């Protein structure tokens, strides 16, 4: 089954309102969908992590750099293709956009393999440890408003996400250490004492400020403190993990097995958060998952993007073994962005309806069982939101 064409569909739309996190505000939403075609008529779909102009740059890498390397190769030779592309691009970047671009292509090849076999991806990996998963809903984004207005809004948004049926919720940080502690207190007030909440700093702090916020999060009973400091600061992560009560999580900005080896060996994470659409696709994700479990580090996948990314992660969560196991293990969760996202909710010919499933199934989402990643994009939708390049 030969690869005949690879197409990048970069989608973009205006958002209903501007939202932000610790690094920036944004008013447009982007998705980068990869389509791989074969001479046997089977088409695979994948997704590349990266918004805005990053997606435009990745489109060039996918179509002008990766595509010429793999045209005519057997689409089922996923590992051969992965290593050929990685080895030939090694001199030009072992992390970042080359790996994001390879990720979308690799996911599409797994989709092709599943369709060729008539099996969902979780069956190709080794089977499903679970047929359904719960999700945590994140929201509480930053806006151009006062700290006091943030506090009042976070109380209400946290309670609303809890009442939607999600298993936990996650907030954004980024106003500064003292105001961020007030935001965390607002979220605890909103969800009550017996509901898990997490806090995501998107590497906003230096180590001393991270200790200040992390100590408060520990006292509030937060489940994890996500990306408190720059991902390069492995020593800082190790120091935070050793001294704080709250779990330290991270890894969405790490790539491939070699980057993850260094991160895990530094012993700075309580919870690993690999991003399959960035680190190298499913082929490399499975190696990273094995590394995490070899270090007895639980994994909660980072999920950001369209319905293709969500469906891919549902397959991976189904196939993820419990770690370390037991009668009542803490099950993996799907990360779900509760803000408006038409590329997630309306992209597919048959929508996943995550929020509807959460509300009607006691917080659970079914794992797709159709071949491949289990979903198909609506081509009319792709055409409607295609970015004119």
The domain limits of the chain are: 3-119+378-385, 123-366
Nearest to 210 by CA among 231, 192, 237, 234: 237
Contact 199, 247 (CB under 8 A): no
CA separation for the pair 365, 368 (Å, rounded):
9
Can you read off the two tokens belonging to residue 373?
A: 């990643």
CA separation for the pair 138, 168 (Å, rounded):
8
Catalytic residue ranges: 302
CB burial string 23-38: b at 16+ within 10 A, e below? eeeeeebbbbbbbbbb
- Residue 42 phi/psi, 5-degree rounding, is -90, 130
Can you read off the two tokens belonging to residue 346?
A: 């309306």
**Which architecture characterizes domain 3-119+378-385 according to CATH?**
2-Layer Sandwich (3.30)
CA separation for the pair 139, 58 (Å, rounded):
27
- Residue 312 phi/psi, 5-degree rounding, is -60, -45
Nearest to 103 by CA among 382, 250, 304: 304
Contact 141, 168 (CB under 8 A): no
The pLDDT value given to residue 257 = 98
The pLDDT value given to residue 355 = 97
The pLDDT value given to residue 85 = 98
Secondary structure percentages of the chain, helix, strand, coil, to 5: 45, 20, 35
Q: What is the largest CA-CA distance in the chain?
A: 59
CA separation for the pair 96, 254 (Å, rounded):
8
The pLDDT value given to residue 389 = 80
> What residues have CB less than 8 Å from 343, skipping those under 6 apart?
11, 13, 29, 31, 305, 306, 307, 385
Contact 40, 92 (CB under 8 A): no
The pLDDT value given to residue 326 = 87
Q: Is the pTM of this model over 0.75?
A: yes
> What residues have CB less than 8 Å from 359, skipping those under 6 apart?
164, 165
Can you read off the two tokens belonging to residue 78?
A: 């996923």
Can you read off the two tokens belonging to residue 381?
A: 């939708």
Domains 3-119+378-385 and 123-366 share a fold: no
Could you say which residues of the chain have pLDDT below 50? none
Contact 211, 233 (CB under 8 A): no
CA separation for the pair 375, 331 (Å, rounded):
24
Nearest to 352 by CA among 299, 282, 303, 301: 303
123-366 is classed CATH 3.20.20.120:
yes
Torsion of CA 60, 61, 63, 65, to 10 degrees: 130
Neighbours of 305 (CB within 10 A): 27
Query: Does a cis peptide bond (omega within 30 degrees of 0) precede residue 348?
Result: no
């Amino acid at each position: 089954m030969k690869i005949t064409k690879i197409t990048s569909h970069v989608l973009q739309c205006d958002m209903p309102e501007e939202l932000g996190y610790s690094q920036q505000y944004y008013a447009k939403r982007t998705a980068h969908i990869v389509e791989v075609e074969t001479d046997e008529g089977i088409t695979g779909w994948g997704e590349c992590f990266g918004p805005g102009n990053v997606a435009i740059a990745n489109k060039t890498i996918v179509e002008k750099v990766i595509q010429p390397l793999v045209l005519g190769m057997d689409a089922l030779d996923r590992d051969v293709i992965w290593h050929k592309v990685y080895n030939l691009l090694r001199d030009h970047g072992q992390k970042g956009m080359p790996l994001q671009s390879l990720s979308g292509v690799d996911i599409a090849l797994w989709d092709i393999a599943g369709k060729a076999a008539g099996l969902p991806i979780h069956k190709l990996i080794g089977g499903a440890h679970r047929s359904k998963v719960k999700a945590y809903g994140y929201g509480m984004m930053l806006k151009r408003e006062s700290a006091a207005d943030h506090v009042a809004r976070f109380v209400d948004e946290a309670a609303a996400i809890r009442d939607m049926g999600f298993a936990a919720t996650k907030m954004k940080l980024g106003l500064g250490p003292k105001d961020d502690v007030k935001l965390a207190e607002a979220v605890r007030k909103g969800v009550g004492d017996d509901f898990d909440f997490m806090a995501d700093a998107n590497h906003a702090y230096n180590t001393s400020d991270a200790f200040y916020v992390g100590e408060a999060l520990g006292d509030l009973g937060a489940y994890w403190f996500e990306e408190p400091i720059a991902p390069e600061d492995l020593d800082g992560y190790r120091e935070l993990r050793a001294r704080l009560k709250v779990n330290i999580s991270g890894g969405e900005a790490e790539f491939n097995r070699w980057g993850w080896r260094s991160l895990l060996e530094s012993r700075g994470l309580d919870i690993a958060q690999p991003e399959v659409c960035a680190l190298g696709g499913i082929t490399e994700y499975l190696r990273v998952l094995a590394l995490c479990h070899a270090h007895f580090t639980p994994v909660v996948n980072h999920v950001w993007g369209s319905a293709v990314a969500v469906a891919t992660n549902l397959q991976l969560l189904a196939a993820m073994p419990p770690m370390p196991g037991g009668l009542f293990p803490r099950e993996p969760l799907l990360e779900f962005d509760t803000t408006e996202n038409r590329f997630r909710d309306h992209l597919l010919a048959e929508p996943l309806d995550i929020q509807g499933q959460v509300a009607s199934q006691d917080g659970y989402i079914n794992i797709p069982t159709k071949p491949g990643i289990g979903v198909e994009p609506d081509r009319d939708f792709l055409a409607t939101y295609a970015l004119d390049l």
